[in-house]
Copies of this chain bind each other. A is one copy, B any other.
């Protein structure tokens, strides 16, 4: 069980994943997340080998600002899922600070009961670099987990703007956790994200906080009516919950079931999945193109020369770029 750095043939991982070997699944995800060329090549083959067995889960995106209680909520909600027979994979995207590369969230002991439940698999993806890159890898990780038989996938992100948009591009349902009374400044920023939400849950509706939470619920429910109609025909729901007292948790599940019924019957569910496939195709085209370009030995040399030029005055980086691309294509 040591030697996790050893690399096997793609078939080894494919077989292991299809048998739901969690240790092999984890190692495959590590390959998918790796930026090394040799790892990426194997990862591509693994994805190709399992893709026919993927796609059969419900994919739930969860976001909220730090302190909203995401882990506590996922612990309660996840336990509800696994005790009702679901196999749950939780993927957490942990955006790093762009400068120090340190984790915002820091060390954490989170989801204590869920993490030891045999029906659940929790995979944090600490990540630096571009959020686009993170999202691509998370999307492939979803496919791997589905092939391993997980029928419910939660993708958790911290609310930082760009990452929720990516998460919305790879999940079926987008759940936004909100605090009661977190101030108007916050809401200003969050409008674009609120518009993406299929459901808003006001967390920590317990103790002295119950009235405040109920008030916030009414406020958000009103706000939602002002949003443009959704393509799915779904009207976003606003609820309160207390993860600690386990109240309002089953209701979240009921809302999701209702959404599934509606969007499967009106065919929006598949339509959204297909649009997402297309989106991932185009992202992948962009990645492949750039890789092909930058790994070309001639281009590498010319870029070295251009880098020197750019340190001078009166150079036009836009022109140099378009000339270089034109030359390459010939």
Each complex incorporates copies of this chain amounting to 2
Decide if B185 touches A68 in the complex (CB within 8 Å). Answer: yes
* Neighbouring B residues of A286 by C-beta, 8 Å: 286, 290
Chain B proximity mask over A290-330: 1 for CB below 8 Å, otherwise 0: 10110000000000001100110111111111101110010
The reply to whether A316 and B47 form a contact with Cβ atoms under 8 Å apart is yes
| Segment 92-127 of A: residues with Cβ below 8 Å from B | 95-100, 104
Nearest residue, chain B, Cβ from A179: B185
Interface centre among A52, A99, A313 (most CB of B within 10 A): A99
B311 contacts A65, CB within 8 Å?
Answer: no
Whether, in the assembled complex, A10 has its beta carbon less than 8 Å from a beta carbon of chain B, the answer is no
The reply to whether the CB of A277 lies closer than 8 angstroms to some CB of chain B is: yes
A320 to B66, CA, bound (A): 38
Asked if A264 is at the interface (CB within 8 A of a chain B CB), the reply is no
User: Does A285 lie within 8 Å of B65, measured CB to CB?
Assistant: no
Residues of chain B within 8 A of A52, CB atoms compared: 313-314
Q: Would you call A184 and B67 a contact (CB within 8 A)?
A: yes
CB distance from A181 to the nearest CB of B (A): 9
Contact with B along A9-46 (1 / 0, CB 8 A): 00000000000000000000000000000000000100
A183 CB-CB contact with B under 8 Å: yes
Query: Chain A: interface residue count, which band?
Result: 35 or more
Residues of B within 8 A of A85 (CB): none
Question: Quick check: A191 and B104 within 8 Å, CB to CB?
Answer: yes
Partner of A196, one of B99, B321, B325: B99
The CA of A242 and the CA of B281, in the complex, are separated in Å by 50
User: Given A100-B228, A165-B98, A185-B67, A48 and B325 touching (CB < 8 A)?
Assistant: no
The 5 closest A-B pairs by CB, nearest first: A161-B161, A284-B321, A66-B188, A281-B317, A97-B192
Task: Please report A residues at the B interface, Cβ cutoff 8 Å.
Answer: 44, 47-48, 51-52, 55, 65-68, 95-100, 104, 131, 140, 158-162, 165, 179, 182-186, 188-189, 191-192, 195-196, 227-228, 274, 277-278, 280-282, 284-290, 292-293, 306-307, 310-311, 313-322, 324-326, 329
If A44-B319, A284-B320, A289-B290 are given as contacts, then 17 extra A-B residue pairs at C-beta distance below 8 Å, sorted by A number, are A47-B319, A52-B313, A68-B185, A97-B191, A98-B165, A99-B228, A100-B195, A104-B192, A140-B318, A158-B189, A185-B186, A277-B315, A281-B317, A281-B318, A284-B322, A288-B325, A288-B326
